[in-house]
Structure 1
């Protein structure tokens, strides 16, 4: 049966003309077409690996940044938040510079290559600054230099990676290119998910260099992943298509066109009626550029609400983490660290994207027309609702927070056993002749004395804005005694539960916390302390545990 083959308009050698009548021959050539069209360029797989590792390095570093600034540099919450957002601001502004470098001078390949090398250097600086035994000046220099370098590097390569991956496809592979970007987006969220889950564990559940945190390791792992991303990128250097830079500064052309049209419309002498004010930019600018500028401004108008969305969205790495510090993080048998709260975002994206595309949107299209603008509008409304919920949660959290005394004042909490012999319950536990209730009391900071069996026992409450616990005890010999210690008026760091020790007679001993199996956890090295007033233990739940702990103690005289 006669057949004829000829090239189609895209240059494919497998185009089948209507003369083909044999069904087997038709299926054979159709399979060849599918093979030809649906074979990914090998280089794009290296781009997927590169993007996954690069996103791991960026989100892993950024996940712990706020707490690092607070714990290691001892910045206040507001200062740590400011520095975090300043870093994010630079990181998301510099893509403008990276796109200009790629389009006008270096090309996308060189920008990605040089930017990745600088990126690795920035991680090395940040990891070095996290070493706790270095001087404060050296650490600050390394840290802030590293943050600046990382912000510049990630901004340089951000606009180039996806465009460079698109360059690897042929013009007749438009559908395949669109499919690839679904995998590309999946790689981004996979990298960020694992990074945000892992690096807080390295920070808060690993002890190193004499510190209860291990920021050098937590910053070092993202740095290693960025190095791997660079090596993956270099592994396919001979496979890449490397289009030369266009040398056209399209940004300058657009700005010039908009300026010309606006200036002539506002203060120009030519008031000739036109369909659009940009039409007055002719003849200096081509009609094609003017039409493209019109479409560009329409897109700008559509996306104008997005800066407000991103201003809120980026708080997941700052104020939401600080809020999560004040929560216990317990989700059944799973304990979430404060800086792991961001992991919910990529996790829910990976879960909900196929659900929306496969179920929700098809069902919604039977009732209403689903358009990108409507998706954006509903998404913005849900984002507003989420922050309203976060505000309500904060109001509830504030009710459980330890308050701070007024300026120059202290809190004092009285505890103790039965009244000392010879004293009535009304006079037991007096300070400066005044009775203390069992509730928390606010006093002026200063030196006080307690009346114990006719003796004046000094009580030091001189540290303003602090909290004190004062215990009045009857010893075994019938005499009275007073013990005190100072505590911090804030939530314990690192998601731990802190238990202070107050004992009437210090004969030596130990206090410790055991898990539900009655064993001391290896990661709970802070859950052991001497049985001495003012000491404390921190109970640090494991990543997966039942959160049932027992407090045990012994005195040396009891075990002799």
Structure 2
């Protein structure tokens, strides 16, 4: 009896998952992503004005150069992603290469993008001698924050003796009319963007939960076995296909039936994204109620296509 109880206790202890400490190096990955995104979007924001004001191009010429640059940047991102991260190379390095006595090689799969990032940084540093360093003034976001803060504090003291129609009007005397107008416009835009983080929170599940879902499915399609982290390439291809189709066919049809306004497109995009996750939930139920790795991975295609449709209508329209 004692042996049976001891065996039961051992089974319970073995079934408990080990509590591992949170990997602190994750913050290095986050910092790397922050720096890379800050570099690109920070530069892209000021590029057209730099071309016009500093290089002497006309507005039309600067516009052409700006869009040519962005076209090349996003084209290279798409082709680079297809060649390396999202389509073939890193999943193959992860699954088909064996290292350090393991059946996979995450070290190599992470190492190749890391080496490419180092090369990109070195290329940037090589041009340091030709850069012009100019001291910048106070950040506009900080100015707007101070404008809002001053308006709130002033209103508490002066709303009875010096009432104003709008809250931000209390900051006109200190910060000027133009900054108050700009701040008010920014706040209106922020209201429009409030649903965006929730949409993106769902959209980012494609890089986590949907991959885990694919790992429980059968990737064999006859002539090739799709790896779980390769199925996400459908998102990139769907964008390339859907954007011109929507611009040329779907949006004109929606306009004819009274659904052509941007806010209506954004709403429809949110609905399509919601449907895609309903499909994902139904597929997950099917997977869990079926034998292991018996559901084919191609059943994920509808949810990826619907989510991409929603992303195009939501994010592209909002942008």
Q: Does 1:249 align with 2:139?
A: yes
* Corresponding residue of 1:387: 277
Shift of 1:343: 1.8
Specify the SS of the correspondent of 1:201.
helix
Aligned pair partner of 1:175 in 63, 80, 86:
63
Q: Does 1:324 align with 2:214?
A: yes
2:147/2:168 contact within 8 Å kept: yes
* Corresponding residue of 1:191: 80
1:200/1:218 contact within 8 Å kept: yes
TM-score (norm 1): 0.43
Name the Cα RMSD after superposition.
Answer: 3.3
2:48/2:63 contact within 8 Å kept: no
Q: Does 1:160 align with 2:49?
A: no
Matches of 1:222 and 1:345 in 2, distance apart? 20
Name structure 2 gaps, 5 residues minimum: 1-16, 53-57, 298-319
* Corresponding residue of 2:91: 200
By percentage of residues, which structure has more strand?
1
Aligned pair partner of 1:229 in 98, 104, 120:
120
1:189/1:349 contact within 8 Å kept: no
* Corresponding residue of 2:184: 294
* Corresponding residue of 1:549: none
1:186/1:350 contact within 8 Å kept: no
* Corresponding residue of 1:526: none
Matches of 1:362 and 1:183 in 2, distance apart? 28
TM-score (norm 2): 0.71
* Corresponding residue of 1:213: 104
Shift of 1:387: 1.1
Detail structure 1 runs of 4+ shifted over 6 Å in the superposition: 76-80
Matches of 2:281 and 2:223 in 1, distance apart? 27
* Corresponding residue of 2:248: 358
1:207/1:214 contact within 8 Å kept: yes
Shift of 1:309: 0.8
* Corresponding residue of 1:282: 172
2:93/2:105 contact within 8 Å kept: yes
> How do 1:66-77 and structure 2 match up within 5 A?
none
2:86/2:233 contact within 8 Å kept: yes
Matches of 1:192 and 1:340 in 2, distance apart? 11
1:309/1:380 contact within 8 Å kept: yes
- Shift of the 186–275 alpha-carbon distance from structure 1 to 2, 3 Å rule, reads farther
Matches of 1:243 and 1:368 in 2, distance apart? 52
2:259/2:265 contact within 8 Å kept: no
Specify the SS of the correspondent of 1:336.
coil
Aligned pair partner of 2:236 in 333, 343, 346:
346
Matches of 1:146 and 1:256 in 2, distance apart? 32
- Shift of the 383–190 alpha-carbon distance from structure 1 to 2, 3 Å rule, reads farther
2:48/2:62 contact within 8 Å kept: no
Q: Determine which structure has greater relative contact order: mean sequence separation of CA pairs < 8 Å that are 6+ residues apart, divided by chain length.
A: 2
Shift of 1:182: 3.9
Aligned pair partner of 1:307 in 183, 197, 203:
197
Shift of 1:218: 0.4
- Shift of the 314–357 alpha-carbon distance from structure 1 to 2, 3 Å rule, reads same
CA offsets, 1:370-415, max 9 Å, x none?
A: 343333222222111111111111111111266xxxxxxxxxxxxx
